[in-house]
Chain A
Amino acid sequence: VDVIILARGGGSFQDLLVFSDEKVVRAVANCNTPVVSAIGHENDRPLTDEVADLRASTPTDAAKRVVPDVIEERKKISQALERIGLRVVGFVQNQIELISGIRSRPILANPFTLVDERSLQISQLRQSLFTQAKNTLEKQTLQVSGLRGQVRALSPKLTLDRGYAVVRDLEGHVLTEPKQAKAGQKIKITLAGGDLGATAD
């Protein structure tokens, strides 16, 4: 039993006394099932009205209150379903937009840029590395040939070029006196074009 409705079909004040009987009133008050009192009569209300869970003015009113209106309920259900549908569609639509937004970011739309940018940077670095190395090499080459020129200009080379010669013993000591060489001693004559081995007479 879902609900108990107390009702009656007309009658005098005497007939209503039974609804004010202590046993009936206590039974109603202790009842675990919801009780609707629909005895009516504002003036001489029976005591069950005071202990019932709900008081209705007529049996019809009691029935109306106990049973929900089908049309109204159906409307509520269909509204709720519609709202659920809208929410779900809206949620899915939001997620679709979110994901497509993320996917259209440049980094995902063209992941090659990850590599391309770095690859370009590396080839530029490689190029400048090469250029720097070449520049250094050119500078050093110029410096060395300059130094060699200086060595020659400051050395006896120019004098040798004019046809003079330098005579040395095999230890590299320059001979300036004929007596510095004994007969048969090996000597070294340095000419502009190189060394010439000889023997003193």
Chain B
Amino acid sequence: MSENNKDVAAMSYEQARDELIKVVAELETGSVTLEASMKLWERGEALADKCEQWLSGARAQLEKAAKSKKSSAE
């Protein structure tokens, strides 16, 4: 992750996702320079990574809950 995207690590899921949506919208305008679009792309990837990190954590928790529910039902 580049220096510019270090703040992403501390973001909540919603913060990262909402900014990811903004990044996409900004890229969609098509009026950004190559340099800016490179930065946006890198930031977008970092934000998407953060979102997926949150989601896979949530998935693991759900699976753990499902497992313990099954074993307590037996």
Contact = CB atoms under 8 A, between A and B. Distances in A.
Contact of B27 (A145, A155, A172, A174): A155
Query: Which secondary structure dominates chain B's binding surface?
Result: helix
A78 interface: no
A156 interface: yes
B25 to A, nearest CB: 9
A172 B42 CA distance: 11
B36 to A, nearest CB: 9
B45 A148 contact: yes
B34 A137 contact: no
Interface residues of A, number: 25
Given A134-B62, A137-B62, A151-B48, A156 B55 contact: no
Interface residues of B, number: 31
B71 interface: no
B48 A144 contact: yes
A151 B44 contact: yes
A151 B23 contact: yes
A106 B52 CA distance: 53
Nearest to B16: A144
Contact of A157 (B41, B51, B55): B41
